[in-house]
Structure 1
Amino acid sequence: MDDPNQIEVPPSFLALFATPSGLRLTEPISFVRERYELCEDLAQALTEQAAAAQFRTGDAESVVLRKMQAALSVDGSAVEPREAQWVVRRLAELLGWPQPEDG
């Protein structure tokens, strides 16, 4: 049966749910797609907030991104830490900011 869902999950997000070899997913594709939609929507929604925070505080873009990741990584967050990191990297991409250092 064909999958009627037309959402294409990017390789960068698929990698979050892949085995170390990268050949298999550790979760069903429907779950991965759901998580991707949540994370992409979150990144899109945070663009305005991040840009406003950078303008308001005068903080470097890297500082704003680090603060965003810290806020997304608290206990009880809607996203897991690996997803929070992806959201922040996507946020930087959407804003045209340098990619944050992994850490």
Structure 2
Amino acid sequence: MEDPNQIEVPPSFTALFASPSGHRLLQPMPVVRERYELCEDLAQMLTEQASSVMFKSGRTEREVLQQMQLALTGPESVVEPAEAAWVVRRLAELLAWEAPPAD
């Protein structure tokens, strides 16, 4: 059966749901795609906020990204810690900031 969904999930996100060997997904692709859409939307929505925080507070890019990471890993977060790290790396990419090191 061919998947009618046109959204391509990048390998960097798919890796979050892959077995340690990386050869198979641990979740069905529709679940991975749904989580990707949520995380991509979050990164897109946070671009303006991150820029504003940096401008108003005088914090560095790294400090702003660390603050975003803390917020995304809080107890009421809608994303898992690995997804939060991906969102922050994607946010850095969208803002053309230096990405934090991968865990």
Whole-angstrom CA distance in 1 between matches of 2:86 and 2:102: 10
Give me the CA root mean square deviation: 0.8
Aligned to 1:3: 3
Q: Paired residue for 1:69?
A: 69
1:102 Cα offset (Å): 3.5
Give TM-score scaled by structure 2 length: 0.97
How many pairs align? 103
Unaligned runs of 5+ in 2: none
What do residues 21-51 of structure 1 show as CA deviations (whole Å, max 9, x unaligned)? Answer: 0000000000000000000000000000000
Shift of 1:101: 2.5
Q: Structure 1 vs Structure 2: percent identity of aligned residues?
A: 65
TM-score (norm 1): 0.97
How many Å separate the matches in 2 of 1:48 and 1:58? 15
Shift, 1:53, TM fit: 0.3
- The ranges of structure 1 where at least 4 consecutive aligned residues each deviate by more than 4 angstroms after the TM superposition are none
